Amino acid sequence: MPMRIADTRIRNFVDTQKTSPSPKISDANVIDLLAAVGDGSRTSFDKVKSELTKPGITRGQQFELAKAGLSKSEKSDIGQLLDKSGLAMDPGAKNFLEALVGRAPLQESFGPLTITGDQKNGIAGIAKPGEVIEAINLSTAPAGRLHLVDTQVIGTADASGKFLGTLPDVREGDMIRLRTRAADGSTSDWLTIQAKGIETSDTRNAIVNLERMDLVAGQSGVAVTHNTGRPITEPGAQIRFVNARTGEKVDVTANEKGSIPAGLTLPGKAGDEFKVSVSDGKNNLNHASVTGTLKVPGGTTGITGVDLPDPKMHKDESNADGTPKFKTERFVGPLFIDEPTPGDVRQGAIGNCYFPAAMAAVAHTSPQALKDMVKQNQDGTYTVRFYENGNKSRPVEVKVDGDLYVRSFGGPIYGSSLGGTNTKDKMELWFPIIEKAYAQWKGSYDAIGNGGSAGRVMSEVLGRSQSYEWVSAGSEDRLFNRIKSDIAKGIPVAAGTHGSDQASRYTNTGVYANHAYSILGVEEKNGEKFVKLRNPWGQSEYGNDGKNDGFFSLPMKKFTELYSSMYVLN
């Protein structure tokens, strides 16, 4: 039987659709039907339509507006539309009509997250209305410092659940990871798709981030690990490791998080180098293009000159079996570029502030003593002399090479030099070499990296006995005069702040608790006495002189509030 549509607007809607090149009741035009149903003697079609398209309106509210005006004949018209029109319908539009005639409950949403079509014009799909769509490009993420959850918001699902968004720099074949986030903060499961329809073929290979991988030699080979919170390549990519010494190769497939499989061990030993390549299954299938080389810490490969045992790392940078988490590199820069100065010294990521503070203090008053204590040998090693217990008759000579532990993204992890480059062929070496020798003498970087006394170091460097002054209110003049006198005589001075139990007095002052500073002198300005100090970090200071280089001047009164002890030599 033909349709007999009573409502003029509904009949016109059907007629219009039937003459359309692509007839369909869509999520967009179903609003006209809802308005046609919702209007009545008291409310016009235009007013209802305006209400139906208000920003933020939910499907449930749209349904109630239409249902409020639904007459018996309109219900019959909608039933005929569903049964006899033959028109295609979007799922959301069809559900509206079925709900109006009582054949189905209204669905508030059409989740879970579904991606529709290709990505030629962006990323389109369906989620629950109002949900935010978050996405990350797993093919490009490994090149940055991104975690798997460092997503970008690409869009919000509209009232019908549809969304369309874009991510920058998406290429054919890229792996895109998406999830939804509801208003209450809850998130959906991850959905990973491979971008298509953007280019005619996938010509961008996967990338692999070598800086995130650590190779550690053990009894059964070379263990490969990395922080699995960050992807090192895209899911499914094949990574190839080739041992440059033996030619043995190992292929592994990255898991869904872009991580290498747990427990991966390569055939090799300390000092070996591995060439690493990657293929996404479409590009670099023969692994002819090599991303880079990873070196297993230890061994002697690539070392110029004598290779001496290195002091063990601090326990925070060591594996459970005592092996280092970081590799070493041979530094071959000049021992001294010019006269040693306090500004050369930079504390590394180790709790030995007392050591760089002492060394910078010595550099300020006795630079020649530093030049005298360290010698470069013909075989590329260095001999550093200390004095046991500050006793000049008991010199201790320590021989070290130029290998320094380095961060995966470059530069020494422990002490380094400021004021220039920290590359291995150019960095000024006197401070990191003396620090390494001190660690060697005391047993390890761990032995020197859990606190100590700047006075003791100054004593061991210069061969003089040490002493100290407690700093307290009322001692300003006495301390001022002592600093002035000592520095004039070329005797280094340093200071320490109070312990961490008094840390709250330091926040926002620019001075830090449980920390050592070099004292570089005193001065008087407008009748007020100041002490000149330096933070061994080479940054972070009291006041704001616009430089943030660690050098600062502090009123003596403030000095006695914030500092606990002053280290002096006899």
C-beta of residue 549 within 8 angstroms of C-beta of residue 538: yes
The rounded distance, in Å, linking the Cα atoms of 370 and 368 is 5
Among 540, 549, 553, 558, binds another protein (CB under 8 A): 540
Of 113-121, 394-402, 446-454, 552-560: span binding another protein (CB under 8 A): 446-454
Q: Residue 192 or residue 540: which is nearer to another protein going by CB?
A: 540
Tell me if 408 contacts another protein by CB under 8 A: no
Q: Residue 387 or residue 512: which is nearer to another protein going by CB?
A: 512
Among 180, 205, 284, 347, binds another protein (CB under 8 A): 347
Among 110, 405, 537, 559, binds another protein (CB under 8 A): 537
Query: Which residue from 149, 126, 128 is spatially nearest to 60, judged by alpha carbons?
Result: 128
Tell me if 543 contacts another protein by CB under 8 A: no
Give the shortest CB-451-to-another protein separation in angstroms.
4
Tell me if 147 contacts another protein by CB under 8 A: yes
Per residue, what are the HEC states of 96-121?
Answer: HHHHHCCCCCCCCCCCCCEEECCCCC
Tell me if 410 contacts another protein by CB under 8 A: no
The 3-state DSSP class for residue 200 equals coil
Amino acid code (one letter) for 329: E
Q: What is the arrangement of strands in the sheet containing 238-243, beginning at the earlier edge strand?
A: 249-253, 238-243, 273-279, 290-295
The rounded distance, in Å, linking the Cα atoms of 512 and 506 is 6
C-beta of residue 550 within 8 angstroms of C-beta of residue 515: no
Interface pattern 86-125 for another protein (x via CB under 8 A): ----------------------------------------
Give the shortest CB-513-to-another protein separation in angstroms.
7
C-beta of residue 13 within 8 angstroms of C-beta of residue 87: no
The rounded distance, in Å, linking the Cα atoms of 413 and 402 is 14
Give the shortest CB-177-to-another protein separation in angstroms.
15
C-beta of residue 136 within 8 angstroms of C-beta of residue 177: yes
Among 155, 297, 455, 492, binds another protein (CB under 8 A): 455
Tell me if 565 contacts another protein by CB under 8 A: yes
Interface pattern 169-198 for another protein (x via CB under 8 A): ------------------------------
C-beta of residue 373 within 8 angstroms of C-beta of residue 462: no
Of 272-280, 474-482, 534-542, 551-559: span binding another protein (CB under 8 A): 534-542
Tell me if 487 contacts another protein by CB under 8 A: no
Q: Give the DSSP letter of residue 19.
A: T
Tell me if 342 contacts another protein by CB under 8 A: no
Give the shortest CB-535-to-another protein separation in angstroms.
9
Residues 6+ apart with CB under 8 A from 417: 344, 345, 346, 427, 428, 429, 430, 431, 432
Residues 6+ apart with CB under 8 A from 475: 469, 560
C-beta of residue 223 within 8 angstroms of C-beta of residue 264: yes
The 3-state DSSP class for residue 253 equals strand
Among 453, 459, 518, 560, binds another protein (CB under 8 A): 453
C-beta of residue 373 within 8 angstroms of C-beta of residue 463: no
Tell me if 292 contacts another protein by CB under 8 A: no
Residues 205-244 that bind another protein (CB under 8 A): 230
Among 182, 308, 335, 349, binds another protein (CB under 8 A): 349
The rounded distance, in Å, linking the Cα atoms of 352 and 359 is 11
Among 351, 380, 419, 521, binds another protein (CB under 8 A): 351
Of 97-105, 123-131, 427-435, 503-511: span binding another protein (CB under 8 A): 503-511
Give the shortest CB-497-to-another protein separation in angstroms.
7
Residues 6+ apart with CB under 8 A from 142: 207, 208, 209, 212, 230, 231, 232, 233, 234, 258
Among 144, 292, 322, 410, binds another protein (CB under 8 A): 144
Amino acid code (one letter) for 65: L
Q: Give the DSSP letter of residue 9.
A: H
Among 101, 207, 353, 398, binds another protein (CB under 8 A): 353
Tell me if 497 contacts another protein by CB under 8 A: yes
Residues in the interface with another protein (CB under 8 A) total 49
Of 171-179, 291-299, 348-356, 523-531: span binding another protein (CB under 8 A): 348-356
Provide the β-strand partners of residue 271: none
Query: Which residue from 297, 435, 281, 426 is spatially nearest to 353, judged by alpha carbons?
Result: 435
Q: Residue 315 or residue 385: which is nearer to another protein going by CB?
A: 315
Q: 250: which 2 tokens?
A: 């190992």
Tell me if 150 contacts another protein by CB under 8 A: yes
Give me the residues that bind another protein (CB under 8 A), please.
Answer: 144-147, 150, 152, 230, 347-354, 357, 449-455, 468, 470, 496-501, 503-504, 506-508, 510, 512-516, 537, 539-540, 548, 564-565, 567
